[in-house]
Amino acid sequence: MFVSEILASKGSAVMTVAPHDSAAHAVDVMASRRIGAVLVLDVDGSVQGILSERDVVRALSMHGALALTLRVEALMTSDVIVCDPDDTIDQVMALMTTGRFRHVPVVRRGELRGLVSIGDVVKWRLEEVRHESEALRQYIVVGA
């Protein structure tokens, strides 16, 4: 299964903020959308970073409530690992496991196509396992 199949089902919408937005604004976006991360885009639409709830927790631990007044760019991860729509779900799982993160933006030729979360990956992997076991069951029944 491919990343493009996840995007075909969930759509390509990605919640974004700007580098100069406040952390408080990013937290509002995450809370109101019930998501764990926002992508940070520059005015030209290029990916500048990613800010997840973990970054906010880390900043709160370091700076207290003042953390919410800081700019997103001060808290975000700048070195963002991305995937391609033609990557397999197994490849994205490997990226998440190795990098210890739960969100991967989907980018092709510099253009943002969507974002895959660990929740999406687990859902699709479960579906795949269900199909495989059903196919095996049919194979055994037909072969018996």
Closest of 42, 132, 130, 124 to residue 78, by C-alpha: 42
Per rule CB under 6 A, is residue 55 in the interface with ligand AMP?
yes
> CB 133 → ligand AMP: shortest distance, Å?
29
**Choices 46-54, 64-72, 123-131, 136-144; region in contact with ligand AMP by CB under 6 A:** 46-54
> CB 117 → ligand AMP: shortest distance, Å?
8
Per rule CB under 6 A, is residue 77 in the interface with ligand AMP?
yes
**Bridge partners, 38 (sequence order):** 51
**Bridge partners, 103 (sequence order):** 117
Considering CB under 6 A, how many residues would be counted as binding ligand AMP? Answer: 15
Per rule CB under 6 A, is residue 52 in the interface with ligand AMP?
yes
CA distance 125 to 89: 8
Per rule CB under 6 A, is residue 103 in the interface with ligand AMP?
yes
Per rule CB under 6 A, is residue 54 in the interface with ligand AMP?
yes
Per rule CB under 6 A, is residue 37 in the interface with ligand AMP?
yes
Are the CB atoms for 125 and 89 separated by under 8 Å? yes
> CB 26 → ligand AMP: shortest distance, Å?
11
Judge residue 100's burial from the number of C-beta atoms within 10 Å of its C-beta, 0-12 exposed, 13-18 middle, 19 or more buried. exposed
φ and ψ at 100, to 5 degrees?
60, 45
Place of tokens 């995007």: 7
**Choices 13-21, 63-71, 100-108, 128-136; region in contact with ligand AMP by CB under 6 A:** 100-108
